[in-house]
Structure 1
Amino acid sequence: MPEVKNEHIKAILAIVPEKPGCYQYFDEKGTIIYVGKAKNLKRRVHSYFNKEQDSNKTKVLVKQIRDIKYIVVDTEEDALLLENNLIKQYRPRYNVLLKDDKTYPCIVIKNEYFPRVFQTRNIIKDGSKYYGPFSSVFMAKTMLQMLRELFPLRTCKLPLTPESIANGNYKVCLEYHIKRCLGPCQGLQTREDYDKNIRIIKEILKGNIAQVSNYLYEEMQQLASNLKFEEAQKIKEKYDIIENYRGKSTIVNHSLTNIDVFSFDETDSSAYINYLHVNNGSIVQGYTFEYKKRLDEAKEELLGLAITEMRTRFNSLAREVIVPFLPDVDMSSTVTFTIPLKGDKRKLLDLSKQNVKQYKLDQLKQAEKLNPEQRTTRVLTTMQHDLQLHALPVHIECFDNSNIQGTNPVASCVVFKMAKPSKKDYRHFHIKTVVGPDDFASMNEVVYRRYRRLLDEEEPLPQLIVIDGGKGQLNAAVDALRSLDLIGKIAIIGIAKRLEELYYPDDPIPLVLDKNSETLKVIQRLRDEAHRFGITFHRSLRSKKQVLSELDSIKGIGEKTKVALLSHFKSVKRIREADQEEIWKVVGVAKGNLVIAGLKQASDKIKESKEK
């Protein structure tokens, strides 16, 4: 696998999102040398750098890449359309496909007396309605086929007018006889009936599938209730076709021409702005950037500054600017600001917001990779806010009990410092004062012992204690803290396993955090680590007890002798089966004889108990 030596490229590769979109490669002069599309940006962009390239052209391209930028979209089709626009705009050196002046196909509803509906690549401003573009000819043809299955439409180029139809200038063609057209050229279909179909087609092409489906469903039900089952069946066939149709592209509607789109996001120290320029219904420019805040500037002021700067940089003369809120800038004489609530303009604003949020996330990830403490501080601050703590939870301790059928009861305490495990501070506890499997009493004992010792040794106390368990275990731990006069000095919560809800002392209603919450993930990691640590200790105790029990009962055999025997023979069974000479070689004659006699005596006792 080739090594990426450019640190700037490495940093970008680490944060590229797994979303559809377009990527742009820049050379050392800042010139775009390649534009590509991807269903998964991360996987596609990484493929240029994490494997040897077979193509010489690709090898040369990769060597010249000095910067990478990308634009996130909703679907692979959107990425294809955006790639087409970007290649036409910048004509990168290494792009071959889509570099000519061809455009992707649209479907047009002509501005005619009986409108024709057909596929075209040429957009003529004659009042006709254009829908698309579609990402391939196949998709456009599939859409047209569906529309013609739904509604019989004329395909001829006859210049139909009320006068020519009334005069009988035309005759029906084969399309009429095979029932693909209802003969409007001879007045066999009224304009009202034809326009009704055209209105539904427009809604379908605009993506208003639910509205059309509801209309057809109601019509089908009405016909069925009137016992017109054959007509209802025809409507049902149309309804089924509509239900199988899926979506439309985000980048649509050629009536959206020469429009700027801005979106805004921010942190305490930075403001992020995304700029899109839309022409003929497609995005032709996209740029996201960051302002470092110097003072406590208002978001309206920052957005106004960005609009002025971007329109100057890109020489934009757009008369309409779509924004999420009104900026603090006076451009009323040249620009109209729009805050859309729905429709195609709202979708463009949402796409811009998606890009600015992704850029913000990428910048935060990049900064956190360069400075891991920044992420830690952010996570701890989030925990303090989510859990309503008085202090930042820099030091957290979590307790868990472990016993199986009441045997070898133990407990574990794991310690996280700065949201990371501090394994040298982990502690195991043998339960000393509790008889039998009593989780509540065991929890009370270990919490008391832990903090009694910290107080006695004047060691620092944690800011947060997490108890693995529900209200019962939490109350037992709280009683222990109360006896040490630590209530109010250390925050304490319990996490229940069933729904991962968090319990507070004296509060019957638990806190339920979002499953993707960073706070919950840290607490779950604490709980899982305490459980793992406790189970490991418990298994170790049981294993030692089972393996060493027979050797422990032999008088005169100490720890060193047992270790020597088990190191050589690996198990008590093998010691029992070994020759006495081999045992003598390991521990000597005297102790060897004690071991042989002791194991024989233990075996005899087992036999006697079985016979009884």
Structure 2
Amino acid sequence: MNKVFDSSQFLATLTQQPGVYRMYDADGEVIYVGKAKNLKKRVSSYFRKQLDAVKTKALVRNIANMDVTVTNSEAEALILENTFIKKYRPRYNVLLRDDKSYPFIFISNHKHPRIAFHRGARREKGDYFGPFPNGHAVRESLKLLQKLFPVRQCDDTFYRARSRPCLQYQLKRCLAPCVNIPSDEEYQAQVDLVRMFMRGRNDEVIERLVAAMDQASQALDFEKAAELRDQIAALRQVQERNAVSGAQEELDVVGFWREGGMTCIHLLFIRQNAVHGSRSYYPKVPAHTPDAEVLESFLVQFYLNESQGKRVTSEIVSPLQPTHAKELSQQLTDALQQRVRITSNHRGQRAQYRALANKNAMNALQSRLGQASLMQSRFDALQKLVASELNDEEPNLERFECFDISHTMGEQTVASCVVFGPEGPRTSEYRRYNIDGITPGDDFAAMAQVLSRRYKHAVERDTVPDIVFIDGGKGQLTQAEEYFAEWPQKPLLIGVAKGESRKLGLETLIFGYSRNTRHLPADNPGLHFIQYIRDESHRFAITGHKQRRAKAKKTSTLESIPSVGPKRRQNLLKYLGGLQQVKGASIEQLANVPGISKPLAETIYYALRDE
């Protein structure tokens, strides 16, 4: 029986300062996190005699304990609330579940900064512009920037190794700072223009270029003036093209739709006067949660999330009521330390954008509901198959994992593990494993290795799957049987062997231990579910293998030689003219490179010939 929480005793000593409160259940699990301008007043509202909201009644019934953290301001409380929600994932909070990282355009902090595509943690110093909805939007923007501003986009290794300008300089898409053609001031001026352009200050950029063109003309530097004239013309062309798409410089537009127990929030990203992309989100929403609470929680989590970037658009078009929009605008402005305006009464183009966002949210959710219905029918068919094999009328199936091995002639072997539930793929739990220390091409040894690494701590972490699918025949299945042989509670093992000519629908299912085989009809929904899991595992393995193979190709053979660090590699490539010249150099030629001693030259010489 749950311990009854003594609310009166807790409230008697509760402060009236701003802060964050956490509610716990009988098992000590955080079930709700909230913020308050006045902690005593806000927490007291949960324990009134008359509670209208069904969700609040259910929450209060499960409270076994509470604690609070006092903050200096409501803005600090907002940030701390978001941190706790990400940490504890409380089941009564609206949770934004999105395992994708957002791409950015990055301008580095080097002497000669570079512009680059960036995704992931922001460890390198510099300016990050975004987030963009997808990688395609970033790459298109980078192409545009390269046409407008001659700033380098090459990586640092390529930049440091140059002894003469590359093709981008000939195409007038880079000033070639790698070989010191422009002055530092001239190059930095172009970088500053990029930063201004990325912040939507296009008119200012043109004004600067016009002033520079006039100055060049007066100095009789007509070639420079002509280059600036062409740059101004290109910028004006971009402005005219974007003006066709809209007159709003920078907006985020929020669409909202709820149906069938699910919620979709669709974001349109308006950048540089045009729709730059969009993305749908499906937050986890407790039952009976009001629309306003869902929207406010989503906006707070989305815009305070560290992965979204340092800079937030200045205007957010949303379906919130004006009073809620005004209050949340102030909270985000204080928390982010920049002006954020959430608008709700819309006319003209903003109203059109909002209608478009709502339409996208409705279509996305209805499509997802259709997929969920299809997934449920496939899962039911799989349950029926397992029930007939185990003689269990209602098998409890919650977690399935599938393994696949990918390599090229035994090289760069990668094993994939994908995770599924009744609802479909759980992509945040997918894992890849680089396989080393085996005979090249030995798929059986690769399978044995990945199983031992995957399930080494599975029991204590409670992540043992109900079914393990193995993409392969009896040989691969045998490795799984041997690994799980001593386990007291074994997962069900199913090998998925390809049929004749590898055609879909001809697969043979081989059940572990019993070695019973099943051939399901090609139109069986359960077989479709297994094919989906198998194909996803295959795709994930091949992608990982290609990435590993590409990385190996990009890696210089010099990196594997002891005592040859970045500086010495740079000197070797610079003084000898490239990797092929290094490979063909004699010991004496290698020893003449600054920083390379005679013994080290011998080490490099023989290491390159032992490849």
Same fold (TM over 0.5): no
Q: Which protein has greater RCO, CA pairs closer than 8 Å, 6+ apart?
A: 2
TM-score normalised per structure 2: 0.32
